[in-house]
Amino acid sequence: MKTKFLTALFFMVLCFAGVTPAEETREQAARIVARIQRADYEGDRAAMQRGYEDLKPFIENHELASHIRYWRGFAQWRQAINGFNDAVDPKELEQNLNTAPDEFKIAMEQDPKFVDAKVGTISCLGFLFFVHREDEARRKERRERILALVKEADEMAPDNPRLIWVRGPIYWNTTVEQGGGQDKMIQVFEKALENYWKIEPSRDPLEPSWGKPELLMSLAYAHMNKKTPDANAGEPYARNALEIVPYWHYVRDILLPQIAAAKAKLQ
């Protein structure tokens, strides 16, 4: 009885303040999402897991459900990516990469036009493709699923910068004769950056809008790891990414020191 009274009182206060319960719920979820994104760049896997769990109370909210599921999947997906950088137990990373697509799948079922849920799934399957390499049947199944999702996403939103970003490894690992190659990936990413300003940014904090820093980071990485490495070409991209996200652990603490070391060898 007391709990019901306090809940009613809380909603009355919100209404008098000009904030509806629905708006307050959205704002609460948005604050958690912002913490997840910051934790991702900071490489704080524990904070990302807390964000994943903190979003659970919102999954039954019909209006927000697809996006809540997306960000829960994002938290697991990016935990894995950060884990690869920091030598985390591969079994734990595999668990992250299996949990994330489950969340993305529900997001796609709730909103079939939600391209970014497809984007996250493509990336997770791409990482999992290199797990259990001896299981060729599973690799074939994942390869076919990746290609099908890429086709679907391309038809829906070919200029989505996050889709272009996750397609990078596909270009990188495809031969020039098949339309891929290292130079092709760099060219596609540079074009995506040129077109980035044409994209109308969403004012909804629950709508995915990341991508530019990731493209910059990946261009720096690509120049550092192509057949003829070019640290000087890669450095400006890394520094531009860090200007956008000054607290990015990977770029600040791993990539830029690698670039500095490569440049030092050339002197």
Write down the domain spans for the chain. 158-267
Dihedrals phi, psi of 142, to nearest 5 degrees = -70, -40
Give me the pLDDT at residue 203, please.
Answer: 85
Rounded Cα distance between 229 and 8, Å, is: 63
pLDDT at 46: 97
Taken as a whole, the chain contains a residue count of: 267
Conformation bin of residue 97: beta by default, left when phi > 0, alpha when psi is -120 to 50: alpha
Which pLDDT score, from 0 to 100, does residue 131 have? 76
pLDDT score at 12: 53
Prediction pTM value = 0.90
Residue 140: φ, ψ to 5°: -65, -45
Dist CA 64 CA 62 (whole Å): 6
- Tally of CB atoms within 10 A around 195: 12
The pLDDT value recorded for residue 4 is 53
Tell me which long-range contacts 251-260 makes (C-beta under 8 A, separation of at least 24).
251/217, 251/220, 253/43, 254/85, 255/217, 255/220, 255/221, 255/224, 258/224, 259/220, 259/224, 259/231, 259/234, 259/235
Q: Are 185 and 168 in contact (CB under 8 A)?
A: yes
Decide if 79 contacts 96 (C-beta within 8 A): yes
| Per-residue pLDDT, 142 | 87
CA distances from 199 to 30, 223, 246 (A): 21, 26, 23
Per-residue model confidence (pLDDT) at position 14:
47
Question: What pLDDT does residue 18 have?
Answer: 55
Which tokens go with 123? Answer: 């990336």
Residues of the chain under the 50 pLDDT cut: 2-3, 6, 9-11, 13-14
Q: At what angle do helices 136-156 and 161-172 cross, to 10 degrees?
A: 140
